[in-house]
């Protein structure tokens, strides 16, 4: 099935129900479907052919949903780009994917025009201030208004005949090591992800209200597939930045029942509330993932919002679909029953096989540490134009995630580290995430990253890069952190070096760039503030 039919089906069932709201702007399912059809037709008239790639570079707004479903309906392959990408990053993704067109907004227009030298640039919103008049050739490409392209299509139903293995979404990895790679996701992949999401992350129907507070170019985009499939009202924040006060207002005013957030956003909401428990009787599911969540912060979040949190673990190569830690486990852990499960990534999702394998792809028993591997309907077809990387990652029928972990006797997965971030000091394996969890418990630590720095004697020295909170006593902090680790970690796991640091380097998706930290620390003792 063409995954674009998810929207068409809801438009038939609930034509006058609100599909998406953005500030004062509202579109019904009938209107959203018609505009997606018109955009799909307009892209065809502009020369985009079946199977060609269309990049979407814009902040969350209704046109992002329209563009997503227009690509599916027209048989084009969606290439969502982070709206914070630089021109250089956009140029790489457009060039690597061979995108025929880039759909952007006024804020992204100058970046898109500077980067997309061989693509049609389509700009949503007020008339953009870009080099050259709209509709004319500019630096090797044409720039045209979004509504002009929509007007070129009829709005009649569009549903390209696609095969289950035809590409629907080219999901680029975040590129924490080397250049990003495009995970090829098919119509069948997206159908499986949607059904799986509705099965155990946020079961919903047309009475539900979904808040998109994270980028639709990433995890929230898959949440949008599920919400659209069930005819839910989808709320898009009218402001670009994540304002905790405004988000709390939207949650209450719109009666939001489910949302997808990253841990940083949840911590911001908890800090904003300052220990008060909000009155949100409609909120049932807050899905989170995509970054480590310190157990102490997670516990405080559950105490603040109640048992609404659902954790997912996955990666772009098996989007949003590997393991789940349901709300029930959060509540039981908070009540004192198996509290260690707050540090778990949960159990395998329905229809997905998750195992821990050794270096020969032999399954390891509970308690033993190895690489987390996945197979199932969500696993990508492969990497775009990367046959060697595809063969290495999809080895022996398994997606090798590069994550190191172990299962317990009850089937709960515990992640220890990325394989590339594991530190080998004095011949012993040290998992950075384990050390980071201890250090993050100190009340004066804003954030922390643990890396291995090359050392002649030890091979690698465990090094803690710590961002102190404002007002922290920096002179005492290292001493207190050393004492904290001494009481909770084996000697070989304890940091031998502490570096008090400013904000940690991150990529456009917010992930800490540990390779940059390692390079900085290897440059010498003047890197950061060594203690």
pLDDT in tens, 88-97: 889 989 999 9
Pairwise CA distance, residues 448 & 431, whole Å: 14
- The answer to the question of residue 491 being in a domain is yes
Could you tell me the CATH number of the domain that includes residue 520? 3.30.300.30
Of 140, 164, 186, the domain-final residue: 186
pLDDT of residue 458: 75
Pairwise CA distance, residues 103 & 124, whole Å: 8
DSSP per residue, 234-303? EEE-SSSS--HHHHHHHHHHTT--EEEE-HHHHHHHHHHHTTPPP--TT--EEEE-SS---HHHHHHHHH
- Residue 44 sits in the same domain as residue 125: yes
- The domain in which residue 457 lies consists of 426-530
- The answer to the question of residue 201 being in a domain is no
- Residue 400 sits in the same domain as residue 267: yes
Query: How many Cα neighbours within 13 Å face the side chain of 40?
Result: 28
Could you tell me the CATH number of the domain that includes residue 166? 3.40.50.980
- The answer to the question of residue 86 being in a domain is yes
- Residue 454 sits in the same domain as residue 353: no
- The answer to the question of residue 196 being in a domain is no
- Residue 394 sits in the same domain as residue 432: no
Contact between 130 and 138 under an 8 Å Cβ cutoff? The reply is yes
Look at residues 360, 304, 357, 355 and name the one whose alpha carbon lies nearest to residue 330: 304
- The answer to the question of residue 482 being in a domain is yes
pLDDT of residue 139: 41
Could you tell me the CATH number of the domain that includes residue 334? 3.40.50.12780
Rounded to two decimals, the pTM is 0.83
Of 377, 401, 419, the domain-final residue: 419
pLDDT of residue 456: 61
pLDDT of residue 509: 65
- The answer to the question of residue 301 being in a domain is yes
CB under 8 A, 24+ apart: contacts of 176-180: 176/507, 176/511, 176/513, 176/514, 176/515, 177/420, 177/515, 179/92, 179/96, 180/92, 180/93, 180/96
- Residue 289 sits in the same domain as residue 347: yes
Name the domain count of the chain. Answer: 3
- Residue 83 sits in the same domain as residue 61: yes
- Residue 415 sits in the same domain as residue 439: no
Give the residues of the chain that fall short of pLDDT 70: 116-118, 126-141, 174-178, 291-292, 419, 426-427, 456-457, 508-509, 524-531
Pairwise CA distance, residues 360 & 484, whole Å: 38
Of 140, 167, 186, the domain-final residue: 186
pLDDT of residue 525: 56
DSSP bridge partners of 418: 403
- Residue 120 sits in the same domain as residue 28: yes
- Residue 331 sits in the same domain as residue 476: no
- Residue 53 sits in the same domain as residue 99: yes
pLDDT of residue 527: 44
Residue 323 exposed, middle or buried by CB count within 10 Å (0-12, 13-18, 19+): buried
- The answer to the question of residue 158 being in a domain is yes
pLDDT of residue 506: 87
- Residue 378 sits in the same domain as residue 509: no
Structure tokens at 64: 């992002």
- The answer to the question of residue 323 being in a domain is yes
- Residue 367 sits in the same domain as residue 443: no
């Amino acid at each position: 099935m063409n995954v674009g039919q998810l929207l068409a089906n809801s438009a038939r069932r609930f034509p006058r129900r609100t599909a998406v709201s953005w500030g004062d702007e509202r579109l019904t399912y009938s209107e959203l479907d018609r505009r997606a059809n018109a955009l799909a037709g307009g892209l065809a008239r502009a020369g985009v052919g079946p199977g060609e790639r269309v990049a979407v570079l814009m902040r969350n707004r209704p046109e992002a949903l329209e563009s997503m479903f227009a690509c599916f309906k027209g048989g084009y392959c969606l290439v969502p780009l982070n709206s914070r990408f630089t021109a250089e990053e956009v140029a790489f993704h457009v060039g690597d994917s061979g995108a025929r067109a880039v759909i952007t907004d006024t804020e992204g227009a100058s970046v898109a025009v500077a980067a997309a030298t061989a693509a049609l640039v389509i700009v949503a919103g007020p008339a953009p201030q870009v080099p050259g008049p709209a509709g004319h050739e500019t630096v090797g490409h044409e720039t045209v208004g979004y509504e002009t392209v929509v007007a070129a299509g009829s709005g009649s139903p569009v549903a390209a005949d696609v095969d289950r293995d035809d590409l629907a979404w080219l999901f680029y990895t975040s590129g924490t090591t080397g250049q990003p790679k495009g995970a090829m996701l098919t119509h069948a992949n997206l159908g499986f992800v949607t059904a799986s999401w509705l099965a155990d992350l946020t079961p919903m129907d047309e009475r539900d209200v979904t808040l998109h507070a994270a980028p639709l170019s990433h995890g929230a985009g898959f949440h949008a597939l599920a919400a659209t499939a069930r005819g839910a009202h989808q709320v898009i924040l009218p402001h670009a930045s994540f304002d905790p006060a405004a988000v709390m207002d939207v949650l209450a005013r719109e009666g939001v029942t489910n949302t997808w957030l990253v841990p940083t956003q949840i911590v911001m909401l908890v800090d904003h509330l300052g220990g008060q428990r909000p009155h949100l009787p409609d909120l049932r599911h807050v899905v989170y993932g995509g970054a480590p969540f310190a157990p102490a912060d997670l516990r405080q979040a559950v105490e603040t919002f109640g048992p609404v949190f659902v954790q997912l673990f996955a990666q772009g190569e098996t989007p949003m679909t590997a393991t789940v830690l349901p709300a029930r486990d959060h509540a039981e852990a908070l009540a004192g029953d198996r509290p260690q499960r707050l540090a778990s990534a949960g159990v395998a999702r329905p229809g997905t096989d998750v195992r821990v394998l050794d270096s020969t792809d032999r399954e390891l028993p509970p308690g033993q540490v190895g690489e987390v591997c996945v197979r199932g309907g969500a696993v990508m077809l492969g990497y775009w134009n990367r046959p060697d990387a595809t063969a290495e990652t999809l080895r022996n029928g398994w997606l090798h995630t590069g994550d190191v972990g172990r299962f317990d006797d009850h089937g709960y997965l515990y992640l220890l580290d990325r394989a590339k971030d594991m530190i080998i000091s004095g011949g012993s394996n040290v998992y950075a995430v384990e050390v980071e969890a201890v250090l993050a418990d100190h009340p004066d630590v804003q954030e922390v990253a643990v890396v291995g720095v090359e050392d002649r004697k030890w091979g690698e020295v465990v090094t803690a890069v710590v961002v102190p909170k404002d007002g922290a006593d920096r002179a005492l902090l290292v001493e207190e952190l050393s004492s904290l680790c001494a009481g909770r970690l084996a000697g070989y796991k304890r940091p031998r070096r502490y570096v008090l640091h400013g904000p940690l380097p991150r990529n456009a998706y917010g992930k800490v760039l540990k390779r940059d930290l390692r390079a900085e620390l290897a440059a010498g003792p003047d890197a950061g503030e060594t203690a």
